[in-house]
Amino acid sequence: MISAALFMLLQGPAADIVRVCAQDARTGEAVVGISVRAADGATHTAAGACTTVRAGVGTALMIMRVGYLPRPVVLSGNGVTVYVMLVPRTSRGVGDSLGFAVLATQRVTANAQADANGARVHATISAQQARERGVGSMNGVIGLLPYTSLRSARGESGLSLRGARREQVVITLDGLPLNDPATGLADVSDVPLVALQSATVLPGADPLSAGSGASGGVLSLTTGAQRTVSVRSGAFGQRVAEGAWAGVVQQTRWHGALSHRTARNDFAFVNAAGVQPVTETRINNDERRTVFTGGLVSARTQWNLLFSTGERGMVGPANVRAYDSDRSLTTRLMVRGQTAVGNSMLSTGARAFMLRYRDPASPTRDSRATAWASDAEWRGNVAGGSWRVGGGADGLTATGNVQQQRARGFAAWGWQRPGAAAQRVDADAGVRVDVVERSGVLPTASVGSSVRLSGTRSGSVVRLVSRVAQAVRVPTLYDLYFSSPQRLDVQALSPERVLLDASTGVQGVWQTPRWRATGELQAVARDTRDAIVWFPGNFGWSPANVGRERLRGTEARVELNTLALSLGVWHTWYQPTLRSGGLTIPTPYVPLHSVGGQGLWQHGAHALSAVIRFQGRRPFTAGPRNPLFELPAVTLLDVAITRRHLFTHLDALFSAGLDNATNVRWQSVRGFPMPGRGWSASLTLQPRP
């Protein structure tokens, strides 16, 4: 017996199975595809956000993922779950405040996302959280995020943040902008929920990360397809089938997702344009779309691809019959890769947008257009901060011998004050210079600070946060083309410059082992020179630079989370105006007041959720405020119930819900009615770990 004990002592502690999971230090969301390297050199790659390794107490592990700084962790016990916060490589200094505690169940920092983004409002939701609320599309995901406004007319889904127009918001997928260089718009419905890992909304100008176009803010989407099969059926002919797979081959995580959906969208609406209101049915409003996403990720490289194709009826305003047979076919192809080069990162990406417009009643109006964009970027960290340099080009070819191209490049520098546990003030600053063909040299800058008034980094805390930033948006290729209605020559358009995007306010976190509450209140302001706005011209709508665009407002949010209950409410008050010459007008489609609220109650295998949204009156004309030219205020309510069945090797989630449960008749854009009450039911299957 003594010999056996001596042998065990010499061998050290027995190894046990340890589960290692990673989270993003900025958002707190899971990071998929991590690689875990042990002291003996053995490497384990995760098929999802977690992987298991055989290691004992005191074993040192290195957690690696392309795009993030490697993080070491020392195991504190056998059979533990280790949660590691990974810091993006461009966030030099953030990780210095992430103390690696040794706990029975190790969780490396509890509030790292607040530390990393303390000076900027942001909110994140995962795809799994959305499914648990009965959501089955990207439109539903956006509806769960605070401070957002979804705008849709002909089936496409655009996003407005902080009173900005859709083309003033940059939407990225794993860092690749989804915005069309020809129009500046991004259709978020291109991204299937089955391929999504998380969605993060960041209101306000972001010159360093997003570059040109991020005047109103950024919606950042990350992919992380898990093994999933989902089917969904709903009102107005909605049918969706999605599937995803992920696996590890040669220490590399491979993933792919395929989605196909169709809908008639033949909902009833009330046409009040005549002498008497008449109930009609929307026609030529059907759509079908197929999307494939795929990619690979390892410790040093990541590649992602998105391909989508779809056809849609180009239905016109309610009382315009000229579009009753028009059709559009769209194809989008996007690819992006990033590779670690020493201590730096090299990224490349390409996007292609193809549109074919058909008018069977008048074939001479048929048209084609192809827009493309290519980008390359090199970034890294040094002792004084982080640097980024890059370049690219945009192009457009369309019917009528339309051909446009332009080159662009940029250089940026960011600095972030290294954090420490006892430090009360965090700060960051950065400058960026863009050079765009025919638009010149465009410098921008940003400064932010977070002052801890009370509490600790890892517990309850109250902060005073402030940020001042600038932004620039160069004219889109369509802006340049349509700026001369006669097409005789291209009228020069100046870049749109956000001279000031400022916010200041208070953020707080209060938490106990049983509940966690968060709140924030801030005042915001934005001043834009030479805003590019489409006004009536000689032939239809034409873009022009207006003198000044100004926004003043407030943003507030409160959330409470317990083991069984989750509640959240947000409110915005925006007063945006456009000034051109001696005329001052409200910015179209921006309500003075917007309110959103959501609740989730879980009991055993069941969950009940509700989402409510209120939008105040919205002006729809480019003229002085007049109640006769405003869309009425609207309140929308969505409810859903879900039930989870756990089998030996399978997790089955069934959901059923009502969209617009109170059957409100409303319009997102004037003349384009939105659906009334609709139903949906879905079944999602995932393997249990």
Higher pLDDT, 183 or 680: 680
Token pair in block for residue 56: 């004992």
Helix (H) or strand (E) holding 482: helix 477-482
Query: Can you tell me the distance from the alpha carbon of 207 to that of 209, in angstroms, rounded to the nearest whole number?
Result: 6
The answer to whether residue 93 scores a pLDDT higher than 60 is no
Percent of the chain residues past pLDDT 70, beyond the cut: 89
* Rounded average pLDDT over 78-101: 58
pLDDT at 421: 63
pLDDT surpasses 90 at 372:
yes
For the cut 80, the answer to whether the pLDDT of residue 186 exceeds it is: yes
Greatest mean pLDDT among 145-159, 445-459, 598-612, 614-628 lies in 598-612
Most confident of 174-178, 492-496, 599-603: 599-603
pLDDT of residue 7: 37
Going from the C-alpha of 444 to that of each of 195, 206, 681, the distances in angstroms are 34, 10, 47
Q: What is the pLDDT of residue 603?
A: 94
Regarding the domain with residue range 123-225+234-415+426-687, which homologous superfamily does it belong to in the CATH classification?
A: TonB-dependent receptor, beta-barrel domain (2.40.170.20)
Q: Is the pLDDT of residue 121 over 80?
A: no
State residue 545's pLDDT score. Answer: 83
SS3 call for 660: coil
What is the residue-wise DSSP string for 324-387?
TT-EEEEEEEEEEEEEEETTEEEEEEEEEEEEEEE-TT-GGG-EEEEEEEEEEEEEEEETTEEE
Q: Tokens for 629? A: 């030219």
pLDDT per position as a tens digit, 231-274: 999 999 999 999 999 998 888 999 999 999 999 999 999 887 77
* Mean pLDDT rounded to a whole number for the chain: 85
* Section 82-100 average pLDDT: 57
Count of residues making up the chain: 689
- Quick check: 488 pLDDT over 80? no
pLDDT tops 80 at residue 539: no
Share of the chain above pLDDT 90, in %: 47
Instruction: Write down the pLDDT at residue 113.
Output: 37
Strand partners, 434: 410, 442
- pLDDT, residue 154, reads 66
Residue 414: pLDDT band with limits 50, 70, 90: very high
Does residue 391 carry a pLDDT above 80?
yes
pLDDT at position 106 over 90: no
Select the highest-mean-pLDDT range: 62-66, 160-164, 407-411.
Answer: 407-411
Higher pLDDT, 409 or 424: 409
What is the per-residue pLDDT across 447-473, written as a single tens digit (0 to 9) for each?
999 999 998 877 889 999 999 999 999
- Least confident span in 6-15, 401-410, 559-568: 6-15
What's the order of all strands across the beta sheet hosting 81-86?
Answer: 50-55, 16-24, 81-86
Which residue did the predictor score with more confidence, 358 or 158?
Answer: 358
pLDDT value for 104: 31
Instruction: Tell me: pLDDT of 13 over 70.
Output: no
Q: How far apart are CA 79 and CA 421, in angstroms?
A: 29
Candidate ranges 24-28, 170-174, 259-263; pick with highest mean pLDDT: 259-263
Is the model's pLDDT at 4 over the cut of 90? no
- Residue 648 zone, left/alpha/beta (φ > 0; ψ -120 to 50; rest): alpha
Tokens describing residue 305 = 């691809």
- Residue 324 confidence class, pLDDT cut points 50, 70, 90: confident
Q: Give me the residue spans of the domains in the chain.
A: 2-116, 123-225+234-415+426-687
The H-or-E segment that residue 658 falls in is strand 650-659
pLDDT at 432: 95
308-332: average pLDDT = 89
Query: Does pLDDT of 490 surpass 60?
Result: no
Is pLDDT at 536 greater than 90 in this prediction? Answer: no
pLDDT of amino acid 90: 63
pLDDT-derived band of residue 79, with 50, 70 and 90 as boundaries?
A: low
Domain 2-116 has CATH 2.40.50.140: no
Mean pLDDT, range 374-401, rounded to an integer: 90
pLDDT attached to residue 42: 79
**Dist. CA 598–CA 524, nearest whole Å:** 24
pLDDT class for 537, splitting at 50, 70, 90?
very low
Q: Write down the pLDDT at residue 105.
A: 34
Phi, psi of 383 (to 5 degrees): -60, -35
pLDDT recorded at residue 562: 94
pLDDT for residue 533:
80
**By mean pLDDT, which of 97-106, 526-535, 657-666 is the weakest?**
97-106
The region of weakest confidence among 28-37, 164-173, 444-453, 625-634 is: 28-37
Give CA–CA dist 293/351, Å, rounded. Answer: 14
Q: Can you read off the two tokens belonging to residue 450? A: 């977070």
Q: Is 671 left (phi over 0), alpha (psi -120 to 50) or beta?
A: left
Q: Give the tokens for residue 653.
A: 């989630």
pLDDT in tens, 570-588: 999 999 998 877 788 888 8
- Mean pLDDT over 329-352 rounds to 93
Q: How confident is the model at residue 483 (pLDDT cuts 50, 70, 90)?
A: low
pLDDT tens per residue, range 195-242 = 998 899 999 988 887 878 888 899 999 888 789 999 999 999 999 999
Higher pLDDT, 639 or 512: 639
Confidence (pLDDT) at 101 = 29
Strand 565-580 to 606-615 pairing? unpaired
